[in-house]
Structure 1
């Protein structure tokens, strides 16, 4: 990170940052504006009156929390192993894990569909939770490993001298010191799990298991396509993510900067 000390430099940096943000901000403005078009606030009331809306919201929470928990546990343990433990051919395993980043979600649908049927997971929460968690782990490990690499080796050596094994070092050193990068992992995972549309659409057929991302389908039919209510549902869907980001903003920014590739 760098620091701009002069007033002119700060002004130039602010202008450049604003210009870079505009392409991302414009779609959000259009979305909010479209959500209030037509009937205005009644568009949001119509979304909230969708049959089972509360259940869809709860299903999204259950799936997102489960995915975040799985990704956090797996990521922290894997990143600690790749960064600080002496494992034979660990770089080979690490790059094999990163190779999973090249797999798009749609390519996995057919094998996952067959696997879910054979394991009896189809039309259950696990049919969505496990694939979503697996898809998020490689990138999360990439970020977290770089963060843990920055922790001084002397800390772990001192812990070993005091009699602590790898598990105690992980529990009492890694977990407390990795809160910033953990916040970044939580935000990225929440966004991916909460916004996912394809997995719930394919693997959750029961109405009582569907998620909030499937709400717009209630306003699209053979003879209707109410875009204002679709945009209103998108705004409502985005609110929990915005709240989560604002709550973890400082830790998220610190973790993202420290865990980035250097």
Structure 2
């Protein structure tokens, strides 16, 4: 990590960080500003007046929580095995797993649609949960393995000398030390699952299974295209993600940096 005690260097680094963040902050400012265009707060009132809005938030919440649970469990177990266990040909399996990062979501729509229809999962939340989790796992395993590589092997060797099993080492050593990277996995997975648009659009047809990312359909049609209400809906949809980041910010930042420093 970069560390400096010079006041001038601190100001220079602060200036650089500010300049870097402006391009990412500008779209958010435009989104919030645009959401007040026309009717002002009336745009938010129109979004909140959408019938069954609470059901859409509930569906998105169920999808997000299910994806987070699946990704969290699979990622920690897989990363622990790839990093600390003696598994034959584990590097080969690791690189085969990383091949999942090369597959864009749109390419998998046809086989996923056929699979969902054949298994009876079409128009159910599971048709979104399972593919979303599967597409997220390769990336999360990559960053969590780097974090686990930074845990001293001497801890596990000492645990083996004391007679601890693999399960006990995972439970007593890995999990307590994984809070920073766990928060990172939770936030990254929440962003992906909460903002999922293509999979819900294709696989969720009934009104009872719609998610919040599909709210734009209420303001876009053949004779209407109310962008101000769409922006207001985007601001409302983003609030849970912002809240989650604020609550887990300390652990999230540690998780992103810990794996890069040995």
Query: TM-score, normalized by length of structure 2?
Result: 0.98
List aligned pairs for 1:158-237, cutoff 5 A.
Answer: 158-237=158-237
Unpaired runs of 5+ in structure 2?
A: none
Given that residues 150 and 261 in structure 2 are in contact (C-alpha distance below 8 angstroms), is that contact kept between their aligned partners in structure 1?
no
Question: Could you say which residue in structure 2 is the equivalent of 1:29?
Answer: 29
Tell me, in whole angstroms, the C-alpha distance in 2 between the residues paired with 1:176 and 1:187.
18
Task: Please list the CA deviations of residues 120-156 of structure 1 after superposition, one character each: whole Å capped at 9, or x if unmatched.
Answer: 1111111000000001100100000011111111111
List aligned pairs for 1:236-247, cutoff 5 A.
Answer: 236-247=236-247
Question: Could you say which residue in structure 1 is the equivalent of 2:57?
Answer: 57
Matched, 1:77 2:77: yes
Task: Please list the CA deviations of residues 47-85 of structure 1 after superposition, one character each: whole Å capped at 9, or x if unmatched.
Answer: 011111110001000000000000000000000000000
Q: State the Cα distance separating 1:101 from its structure 2 match.
A: 0.2
Question: Could you say which residue in structure 2 is the equivalent of 1:101?
Answer: 101
Between 158-167 and 115-124, report the one with greater CA deviation: 158-167
Q: State the Cα distance separating 1:163 from its structure 2 match.
A: 1.4
Query: TM-score, normalized by length of structure 1?
Result: 0.98
SS of the aligned residue for 1:248 comes to helix
Unpaired runs of 5+ in structure 1?
A: none
Tell me, in whole angstroms, the C-alpha distance in 2 between the residues paired with 1:16 and 1:216.
37
Q: State the Cα distance separating 1:259 from its structure 2 match.
A: 2.5
Question: Could you say which residue in structure 2 is the equivalent of 1:156?
Answer: 156
Matched, 1:5 2:11: no
Tell me, in whole angstroms, the C-alpha distance in 2 between the residues paired with 1:194 and 1:174.
28
Tell me, in whole angstroms, the C-alpha distance in 2 between the residues paired with 1:51 and 1:214.
13
Given that residues 213 and 237 in structure 1 are in contact (C-alpha distance below 8 angstroms), is that contact kept between their aligned partners in structure 2?
yes
Report the number of matched residues: 262
Question: Could you say which residue in structure 2 is the equivalent of 1:147?
Answer: 147
Question: Could you say which residue in structure 2 is the equivalent of 1:248?
Answer: 248
Change in CA separation of 1:93 and 1:261 when aligned onto 2, cut-off 3 Å: farther
Q: State the Cα distance separating 1:261 from its structure 2 match.
A: 8.2
